[in-house]
Amino acid sequence: MTEQLCTYFAELGEPDNDPDAIAEEFLRDPNVRVYRILDSDQLGFLVTEDYPGFTEMCEFCIFPQHRRRSIGTRAAHLAFEKTPGRWELGIMHDAIHFWRHVLKTCPLAKDLVEGPSELTHQTHRLRFTIGSTP
């Protein structure tokens, strides 16, 4: 996973992040789930973290050579289906159109609220519900 994180952080413009430390944190934290997006090869990955009352999509990456084939949309829909309830997602400007499409095409998504992110490297924060909440 370290190699994929290096590529991912370089693409995000954050090459100074320590991928070994981040991978270790992902694997050690019981509230974090790492999903590898696979076909005959690894196509990408996504990372979610459970907080009291909601799940956050922390990281999401489809490797460049596999983009624009609906793989990311399908992977996001599957992740949402596995964890119904309230979600939050902080995103960068370039990804806002992708995430709007993902949520518009997800039949389980509802109650979308879009606002600014509190983090400097993100431009938007999406809050929404997948399925019904207790």
Share of the chain above pLDDT 90, in %: 51
Q: HSE of 65 in the Cβ direction (CA atoms, 13 Å)? A: 4
Strand partners, 88: 56, 127
Q: Give residue 28's pLDDT.
A: 82
Looking at the whole model, is its pTM more than 0.85? Answer: no
pLDDT at position 10 over 80: no
Read off the pLDDT band of 16 (50, 70, 90). Answer: low
pLDDT at position 15 over 80: no
Average pLDDT of the chain is: 86
Strand partners, 44: 37, 62
Contact residues for 18 (Cβ-Cβ < 8 A; gap 6+): none
Which range of residues forms the domain containing residue 45? 2-130
Query: Which domain CATH number covers 75?
Result: 3.40.630.30
Domains contained in the chain, number:
1
Convert the pLDDT of each residue in 78-106 to its tens digit. Answer: 999 999 999 999 998 789 999 999 999 99
Contact residues for 114 (Cβ-Cβ < 8 A; gap 6+): 124, 125, 126, 127
Residue type, 110: K
Overall average pLDDT of the 58-70 stretch: 90
